[in-house]
Amino acid sequence: MVYLVSPAQGIPCVVMTPTTIMIEGRRRVKTDKKDAATIAKTLAFRSYSPVHIPTAEDKQVKEYIRMRTDHQLALKKIKQQILAFCLRHEFRYTNSASHWTWTQKHVKWLQLVEIVLEAGESAYIQQGSMVYHSPSVSLNTRLNGRGSGLGKLVGALGRSMVSGESMFITQAVSNGADGKLALAPSTPGQVIALELGAKQYRLNDGAFLALDGSAHYKMERQSVGRALFGGQGGLFVMTTEGEGTLLANSFGSIKKLVLNGESITIDNAHVVAWSRDLDYDIHLENGFMQSIGTGEGVVNTFSGYGEIYIQSLNLQQFAEQLQSYIITGNNS
């Protein structure tokens, strides 16, 4: 305590290691006066070893190291739980001769979604998401539109121009009873399966991974205000129909929110999917100037009864963070 207070008063202070203080060989009597004289001689001859007292910066480093150690232990425990879960369900990693886990190949293997297709069954998948498939599965490119002939081509082209969606979609068809198809999202994150039928959903851009069964989706027209502010799907938003399973992927982890008549406002870039029955309003948070000040930008206010799936990370913000580390012709 004295050491902490003295420097603030302009008084130099040193904490000595007791074993390095000079002691006379025959001295047996111990008094404050003699101790003071001994300390003075030790200071004069500099024969002591000072004790390092942690500074405020040292304490911060200590807390950081403690936090990092706790994080490593927690991460190790989570990895063990994931491996145990995979083993319980007979998922064994055999893609490497060494079978080392938590390598880049192993993490990619964990993110795979394997679909089993019976003879004649098909699934629509996001372009570029296929990792592997069995010989009985064939991939076909289809126009991403309804109808037939020239009308289907014009519809697919028009939707591509106004929504940023591809003109084409990949259809996987199984010609045998043992069809297998593995998919992986383009961004690191989580994949969820949503059962379609009584429940239908709308999806933000980049969330669609696959559809199977008799399920399909349409591009539902949005208001001009939603199209201008949303930045997701332009004049159209992806809406599911029919019965089957929808696979949606996120950037980061997914959290499910349930509304029972109340309303909630969410950053639009964190929205993955929401129930078709929900009302939604895409707008600027507290006006243009307030949005600039808070940095929140475009938000989506939902109300009614239904589910909302949100992602923990914002792809646009992540890209902006990486921008300063990317060497281009202008900043090289």
Pairwise CA distance, residues 195 & 215, whole Å: 10
Domain stops at, among 76, 94, 110: 110
Please report whether residue 33 resides in a domain: yes
Domain final residue, candidates 68, 91, 110: 110
Rounded mean pLDDT of 118-132? 87
Task: Report the pLDDT averaged over residues 31-49.
Answer: 81
Q: Is 24 part of a structural domain of the chain?
A: yes
DSSP notation for 117-156 = E-TT-EEEE-TT-EEEE-TTEEEEEEESSSSSHHHHHHHH
Asked if the model's pLDDT at residue 104 lies above 50, the reply is yes
Is residue 10 domain-resident? yes
* 238 occurs within a structural domain: no
Q: In terms of Cα–Cα distance, which of 232, 258, 192, 247 is closest to 314?
A: 232
Q: What is the rounded end-to-end Cα distance, in angstroms, of the chain?
A: 53
Based on the domain organization, do 102 and 66 belong to the same domain?
Answer: yes
Instruction: Tell me, yes or no, whether 225 lies in a domain.
Output: no
Is the residue at 11 inside a domain? yes
User: Per the domain annotation, does 99 fall within a domain?
Assistant: yes
Torsion of CA 23, 28, 29, 30, to 10 degrees: 40
Number of domains in the chain: 2
- Report the alpha-carbon angle 96-100-106, nearest 5: 70
Segment 93-100 shows an average pLDDT of 66
- Determine the average pLDDT of the residues in 318-326: 74
Strands (E), 206-312: 208-212, 216-221, 236-241, 244-249, 254-267, 271-275, 279-284, 298-311
Sheet with 130-133, edge to edge strand ranges: 113-117, 179-183, 130-133
Amino acid, res. 152: K
Question: Alpha-carbon distance 88 to 108, whole Å?
Answer: 20
CB atoms within 10 A of CB 115: 20
* Residue range(s) defining the domain that contains residue 20: 2-45
User: Of residues 257 and 227, which shows the higher confidence score?
Assistant: 257
Rounded Cα distance, 130 and 127, in Å: 8
Q: For residue range 177-226, what is the model confidence (pLDDT) as tens digits? A: 888 888 888 787 888 888 999 999 999 888 888 888 778 887 776 654 54
Residue 253 lies in a domain: no
Res 292 pLDDT > 50:
no
The C-alpha R_g of the chain, in whole angstroms, comes to 32
Neighbours of 246 (CB within 10 A): 25
